Every structure is written in C-alpha cells, then in structure tokens.
Structure 1
Amino acid sequence: MVSSRSVDKAATVLMWLAGIVILGILVIFLGYILYKGLPVLTFKFITGMPSDIYAGGGVGPQLFNSFYILVLSMLFSIPVAIGAGIYLAEYAGNDRLTDMIRLSTESLATVPSIVLGLFGMIIFVNMLGVGFSIIGGSLTLMLLNLPVLVRVTEESVRTVPAYYREASLALGATKWQTIWRVILPNALPGIITGITLTAGRALGETAILIFTAGTTVSRNLPDFDILAAGETLAVHMWYVMAVGLVPDRIEIANGIGALLIITILIFNLMFTLPSKYIQRKLAGSDH
C-alpha cells in the first residue's frame, strides 16, 4: 500500500515539474524573440520616423503613441473602476441593481477585443466624428480595461480585514474617512497589481486600435494632439507584416517584438517593486 508520505512527495515533484515546464516555455519564448530582435534595437530605430517604402525606418512615433494612448486610457479607466469597485464592496446590497452591475461587468470582460474595436469605430470615429485618433483609441481601450480593474478593486477592498473598519468607525471616523484613510491604503497593493496587468495587456492591444486609432502616425514627434492619428507599436507590427511594402519588414517586426517585451518588463518592474514595498510596510505595521 502506498503511504501518504510517498503520495505527498510524488505530488510535490509533479508540481515542481509543472512549474519548471512553464518557466522553460517562457524562457524559450522570450529568449527567441529577444535573440531575433535585440540586434535591430538601435537608437535610430527606437527614435526614428517610420518609412513606407525604403528600408531603415524607425518606430519613434509608434512608441510615443503606445504610451500616450495607454496613459490616457488608464486616466479614464482608473477613477471609474476604483469608484465602481468601492461601491460594489462597501455600499452595494444584494439587490437587482448590484446583480445587474456585476453581470454587466462580467459580460463586458467576455466581449472580444475586435468587437470593442468595431463599437469604438461606430461611436467615437463615426458618430462623434473624432476620426482615427488617439482619443478614439483611448476611449475604446477604456472599455477593455474597466472589467478587470473593477473586479480587482472590489476583491482587493474585500480582502481588507473587517476589524480595520470596525476600529476606524469606533474611533469616530465616518464611512468615507474609513474608506479613504484605512481601506484604500491597505487595498492598494492589490489594486496596483491589477493596474499593472491591465496596462501590460493594453500596451500590446491591436484589434481595438486598428479600428479606432488607425494605422498612420503624425509626422511631428512628440505630438500631443489627441485628434492626431495614433498607430502604436503592436498595430505597426501587424501593419508591416500584413500590408507593408518595406523590404526589411521582418527585421522591423522582430525589433518591435523585442521592444514591446522589454517595455512591458520595465513597466511591470516599475509598478511591482513599489507594490511589494507597500505590502511589506503594511505587514510590518500590523505587528
């Protein structure tokens, strides 16, 4: 008869193997892309203007647009998502309105990005007349960000221990003071994690931005005009491989892939490290 200790050891080995396989796939995937793309990443490529016909063009405007659209979309998304998450966790009761809000959020999370892109094109590009622009892409990208941010905020707020609320209210604080000064600071690490994951996904989005931000860029760098064309790095990669005429399109695609990976890794570190620091500080203050 097999002992429970043997079963435990076998399960531990299987879990380690599963983790090593996942890590190996990730290393191979990232290593291959960086191997092909890093030689392309010169200063001229990263900051230069793109070329439609001749080899040697850069991706400077696309890199700027990627961050510009990302920042605008997060500025639109974060206040709404945090407000909705706090409402669902702290104020909403078990009624039809709450059920409808949660169902709407979950339904929005399941909508394919290309459908959101078509919706953004109909509403923002055509009906509101903003054309293929940075603001149109940002507003549509907000629809992609909201479901995840709302869910993460709600769950992060709910994980704050109940005695934190009770202690704050017992000291005479109002409901809003308790949320602002006690609950949100303790829920912040989880919210930051959700923002990081959402931003990484939005940075590599293509389908939405093809239909709303377009596949062209302004010739001015940087161009902060929200009505300017807003092709991003991911969209430019798709464009040069699908319909591009430049002879070095393979090198451009490899360079964009490596640049996107490096950018997302740096972006994640910029948010993950402060989140870990906040978690350690809060954990230390509990003792």
Structure 2
Amino acid sequence: MFNVFVWALGIIVILFILGLLFMLLRKGLPNLTWDFLTGLPSEIEEGGGIGPALFNSFYILFLSLAISIPLGMAAGIYLAEFAPDNRFIGFIRICVEGLSSVPSIIFGLFGISLFVDIFQLDLTILGGAVSLAFLNLPMLTRVTEESLRSVPTELKNASFALGSTHLQTIRTVLIPVALNGIITGICLTAGRAFGESAVIILTAGVTTSGELWDFNLLSPGETLAVHLWYVQSEAIVPDAGDIAQKATAVLIMIVLAINLVFRVPLWIKARRMKG
C-alpha cells in the first residue's frame, strides 16, 4: 500500500508539473520568432522584442556566477576541511544558513544602498551582478560544504596513506567525488538567478541601453524576468499579453536548458563509470 501511495503521489506531481508547463507554453512557444528574440523592446508600438533583456540576463548571470562560484566553493572547502570545531565557526554556519533563506528583496535593498547611495553608480549591470552574487553565495557555500562532508572518510584516509598532502587530497579526491553535488547546487543557483527579478529591479533597473550587445558594466541592466514583470504590469503596448506569453516561454525553456547543460555531462560520466 505504501508503494502504491508513493507511486501515485509521484505521478500526480509529474502530471501537475507537465500541466503547468503546458498551460504556460501552449500560447507563447509556437509564436516565438527570431525577430522577437533579437529585436529591441518597444514602449508604445506593438511588435517589440526582448533582445537586450535576454542578453542582459545571460550577461548578469555569467558575472554573478563568476563571482559567487569561486568564493562559495572556497568558503565551503574551508568550513568542511580547515575550520576548527568551535562556537565561532558554528555561529558562522548559522549565519550562512540564515542568509540562504533571506528574501531576495533584502539583497536588492543592500545592493541599492551600496551601489546607488554609497558609490553613486545609479542602476547598473555591475550592481545587479554583484548583488545577485551575494544572493547566490550562501547557497553555494552550504552545498559545497555538505557535498565535501558526504565523501566517505575512507577515501580521504587512503589519499593520506599514499602520501598526499591535504590540498592534494582536496583537489584530486574530495572535489571530484563531491562534484555531482556541487554541480547540482550550481545548477539550482543558476536557474534561480536567471529568473530573479526583485534584486535586478532594485539594483539594475527596468530599462536597457537600447543596444543588443552592450557589455558596458555601467549600463542599465533590465533582464528577461524584469521585462516580463514590466510588460505584464506597467507596459502600455497593445500586444503586452502576447509579449508576456512569449517571454514566459523563453524564460522557462532557458531554465530547463540550464539544468540540462549542467546535468548531461554528469549523466555521461556516470554511465561511463558504470560501463
């Protein structure tokens, strides 16, 4: 009876997710065009695209991950392998766990205070990327620490017995074994960051520079998620509903693609090891 209950619950969850995806994609996905993906947004006339917002989404995501992944992994490695077991480190772990559950808008308020009020940079891609990195950092730290702690102690001891140093053991044994969990955490973080809107609205703004490929870090950085919110709630273009549906389809498909890009190499590696 328990097996039947678990299978039924799993099937219901899968059907619910598939139904939700069908409802969100059925109108927007068939109407996607290259002009929509690369075109400039319009404030008044219909037929605008999402090109600059889509580029800013990938640009800010790349910058935030480039900042948060090295720092998060370094912090996680320190907490798992080097940090002493005392009250202060325990307090640090509690703080990291607390930051992981803080609403994203709090990081947005921190970013606007730091970059807009203190550094007088206005709403920029740089402020959005760094604020988003702060949002990602606690989760990456915890995922790295827990992944390293899940590695069997026998593997570490075997590496030490063969004469490896602690750093060599971390680099050649612990990280490769824990890589599956670390990449899963990066995947979840990247998907969350790509669809984040509250932080970007407060630190990067709701407009773009009007250029499709704008690498200037001090340009305004509206992303696709922010553009979707703006079109659905504030825009006055006649085809706002159609733009929102197509932008929703693009956002969902990219988040799914991010998960596949991160997970497919792990699946291939696992199959090779079994073979």
TM-score range, shorter chain: over 0.9
CA distance in 2, matches of 1:144, 1:279: 31
Find the counterpart in structure 2 of residue 76 from structure 1.
67
Is the Cα–Cα contact under 8 Å of residues 201 and 226 in structure 2 kept in the other structure? yes
Which string of whole-angstrom CA distances, capped at 9 and with x for unpartnered residues, describes residues 1-40 of structure 1? xxxxxxxxx1111111110111011001001111021133
TM-score, L = length of structure 2: 0.97
**TM-score of the pair, normalised by structure 1:** 0.93
Match of 1:170 among 161, 164, 184: 161
Q: Which amino acid aligns with 1:155?
A: E
What residue number does 2:257 align with? Answer: 266
Counterpart of 1:234 in structure 2: which amino acid?
A
Aligned to 2:22: 31
> Highest CA radius of gyration, 1 or 2?
1
The alignment-based identity, stated in percent, is: 51
Considering only aligned residues, what root-mean-square deviation do their CA atoms show, in Å?
1.2
Q: Does 1:254 align with 2:245?
A: yes
The match for 2:143 is 152
Alpha carbons of structure 1 residues 35 and 75: separation in structure 2 relative to 1, 3 Å? same
Which residue number corresponds to residue 36 of structure 2?
45
**Residue 59 of structure 1 is aligned with which of 43, 47, 50?**
50
Alignment check: 8 A CA contact 2:38 2:212 kept: no
Answer yes or no: is 1:245 the counterpart of 2:236: yes
What are the within-5 Å matches in structure 2 for residues 78-227 of structure 1? 78-227=69-218
Q: Structure 1 CA distance, aligned partners of 2:105 and 2:156?
A: 42
Partner AA of 1:40 in structure 2:
N
Letter in 1 for 2:115: F
Deviation readout 1:199-221 (Å, 9 max, x if unpaired)? 00111001110000100101222
Aligned residue identity for 1:121: I
Paired residue type of 2:162: L
- Unmatched segments (≥5 aa) in structure 2: none
Contact 2:68 2:133 in 1 (8 A): yes
Q: Secondary structure at the residue paired with 1:209?
A: helix
SS of 1:218's partner is coil
- For the 8 Å contact 1:189–1:278, the answer to whether it is kept is no
For 1:49, the aligned partner's letter is L
**1:58 is paired with a residue of what secondary structure?**
coil
The 1-side partners of 2:144 and 2:271 are apart by 20
Superposed CA deviations along residues 61-93 of structure 1, whole A, max 9, x for unmatched, are: 011000000010001100111011111111112
How far off is 1:282 after superposition? Answer: 5.3
Q: Contact 1:168–1:178 (CA<8 Å) still a contact in 2?
A: yes
- The number of residues matched between the two structures is 275
- Structure 1's unaligned 5+ residue stretches are 1-9
Quick one: structure 1 residues 281 and 164, their matched pair in 2 at CA, closer, same or farther if it must change by over 3 Å?
Answer: farther
